[in-house]
Structure 1
Amino acid sequence: MGYTPSENLPLLIETMKRACAALDDAGVPAMLGGGLATWARGGPPTDHDVDFYLREDDAPKAHDALAAAGMGVSTPPEGWLLKAHDGEILVDLIYRPAGGAIGDEHFARATPMELMAQPVLVAAIDDVLTTKLMALTEQEPDFRSVLELARSLREQIDWDFVRARTETSPFAAAFFTLVEGLGIAPSGRVDPPVPLQSRFDRTHAGEPTARERLASA
């Protein structure tokens, strides 16, 4: 059954609340990621699944906690996440996304928030955007969602951080060309240093040279 983002959002929130409660009861540290994390920070509504970021060592315990809460669970072959199903809503337990394994530094950058009366730790927007950019491939080079995210949350994004974390991706390089050209992000271009002689000539432009001063003495 298909839903628009606004129609699907209440279902996602209810699943997010159930999953948060189950993970909290099991003592599993987890952060809300993906589309709900961007929506929580003022981004557009999402019609996708519920994403949680967590450490790899905690993933099996989190999987068991969601199963105990009545969700159907599965282990996909990709090897970087586990899945659970709450009816038609999919929950992804992501521990090794394209931007790198989830670790203590991700939790340090996250923000505790209250989302529809549910206390939840929300992943930093910089980490969410980094993950999305590093997931772009030749098979799925779709910039629509990352451009929408960047446009709506531009003032919250640490652009230098995201540039540094995605510098190995040609798709991220193309993204930065787009957002800079559209005026969404400031230019990351660094001008080459001006040679010392050029700086001297520029500073003293119009002044007589030493030889000219001697000749006029």
Structure 2
Amino acid sequence: MSSDPETEPGLRAALRAAASALKSDGVPFALTGGYALWVHGAPEPTHDVDFAVPEDEVEHAAASLAAAGFEVERPPEDWLFKAHRDGAMVDVLHRLQGDPVDSPLIAASGEQEILGLRMPVMPATEIMAAKLGSLSEHYCDLAPLLGVARAVREQLDWPRLRDEARDHPFAEAFLLLTDRLGISGPASG
């Protein structure tokens, strides 16, 4: 992914401001998506920042971000809300692959220091599983995922990803490609 120096500082500032607000207001959350993968070693994203919150904390999270100066937007999708500030977008997800985000998922996210602020970061395997689960005939761009998989390959639970991809042809195709390119560990069975 190409770098956009004009966008990245805005995204970084939005990441810090949103995490700081959620943290100070006691909203359970974890950094997810592209920025979490960046923390794990992938290229820095240039589109948005993603956080996951438990489904029962959505209104608390929205109020927290609104109080921190974000403009909260409720799109038609029923699994997230968006928060905008200074031209940067933060997606706050409360469902991943149709399943509600819950406290155990947030608790499984190890805390790391990002841009001078400690926050929970979702494990790379959880994020990759969600990304593979979102592949479909309407969205099947594997190129960005290949770069991410290559960057974080040692941190991924490949057997788990293979198990979760079973009967999902787009995810299976991606994993076959990572096998053939030598990105993943050898497939068993």
| Normalised TM-score (structure 2) | 0.93
| RMSD, aligned CA | 1.5
Aligned residue number for residue 66 of structure 2? 67
Separation in 2, partners of 1:5, 1:188: 37
State the shift of 1:55 in Å: 0.7
Distance 2:8 2:163 in 1: 32
Amino acid paired to 1:36: Y
Per the TM alignment, residue 9 of structure 1 is displaced from its structure 2 partner at its CA by 2.3
- What is the match of residue 160 of structure 2? 161
Task: State the alpha-carbon separation in 2 of the partners of residues 159 and 114 from structure 1.
Answer: 26
Offset, 1:99: 6.2
| Residue 162 to residue 42, structure 1, CA distance change in 2 (3 Å) | same
Report what 2:8 is aligned to: 9
Alignment of 1:62-211 (within 5 A): 62-98=61-97, 100-190=99-189
1:159, distance to aligned residue in structure 2 (A) = 0.7
Contact 1:6 1:45 in 2 (8 A): no
Distance 1:162 1:7, change over 3 A: farther
Q: Distance in 2 between matches of 1:125 and 1:167?
A: 19
List runs of 5+ in structure 1 lacking aligned partners: 191-217
Which 4+ stretches in 1 moved above 6 angstroms? none
Greater fraction of residues in strand: 2
CA distance in 2 between counterparts of 1:140 and 1:76 reads 19
TM-score (norm 1): 0.82
Q: For structure 2, which runs of at least 5 residues remain unmatched after alignment?
A: none
Aligned identity (percent) is 36
Report the structure number with the largest CA radius of gyration.
1
Work out whether residues 99 and 131 of structure 1, in 8 Å CA contact, stay in contact via their aligned partners in 2: no
Task: Please say if residues 58 and 94 of structure 2, whose CA atoms lie closer than 8 Å, have aligned partners that are also in contact.
Answer: yes
